Structure 1
């Protein structure tokens, strides 16, 4: 029983330390996407796709439109129809 409790606590500590960088990245994406989508007509949709692209590419172009050359991964993502995925 003691071994089970010790193992459980060890897993809990390790998993919490692994989640920390993900949460920090999320804050980065949230702030960058908020700026990127601030003038979007469909803000919820813009934020959704911007966050997906940011999580995969680790960057978001500056400004509210254009500047996609700053982040080639973000620029080159396509949806199933071949159109740009990232706002």
Structure 2
């Protein structure tokens, strides 16, 4: 009775592990590259919605409601018009967003 060659089995197992790690590394690198490209295009235009909405809503009679609505609009449109009201031509997406009742959503 002959025992299997342990060194050959270990070599095959080691090769399998190394190839698996290389494949996983390549997949992860591709995933990171894809997400980085999207993040770069987004971050180059991204604004601080919290600060922009705080400035927009600072004179509101209902500041918490104003900031919540403004935040939703800001995250969707990636812009907030300057000032505490008006100036919506600067951000058409923000100006054209409506509620389910077809009312103007963004403050």
Same fold (TM over 0.5): yes
Residue of structure 1 in register with 2:106 after alignment:
86
Report the aligned-residue RMSD.
Answer: 2.5
Indicate the structure whose relative CO is greater, using CA pairs within 8 Å and at least 6 residues apart: 1
Q: For the pair shown, which has the larger CA radius of gyration, 1 or 2?
A: 2
Contact kept? 2:47, 2:78, Cα under 8 Å: no
User: Could you tell me how far 1:26 is from its partner in structure 2?
Assistant: 6.8
Structure 1 counterpart of 2:83, from 63, 72, 77? 63
Aligned residues: 86
Residues 35-78 of structure 1 show CA distances to partners (whole Å, capped at 9, x for unaligned) of: 10000000000000100000000100000011111100000000
Structure 1 counterpart of 2:93, from 70, 73, 77? 73
**TM-score, scaled relative to structure 2:** 0.59
Structure 2 counterpart of 1:35, from 43, 55, 78? 55
In structure 2, runs of 5+ residues without a counterpart are 1-34
In structure 1, runs of 5+ residues without a counterpart are 1-14
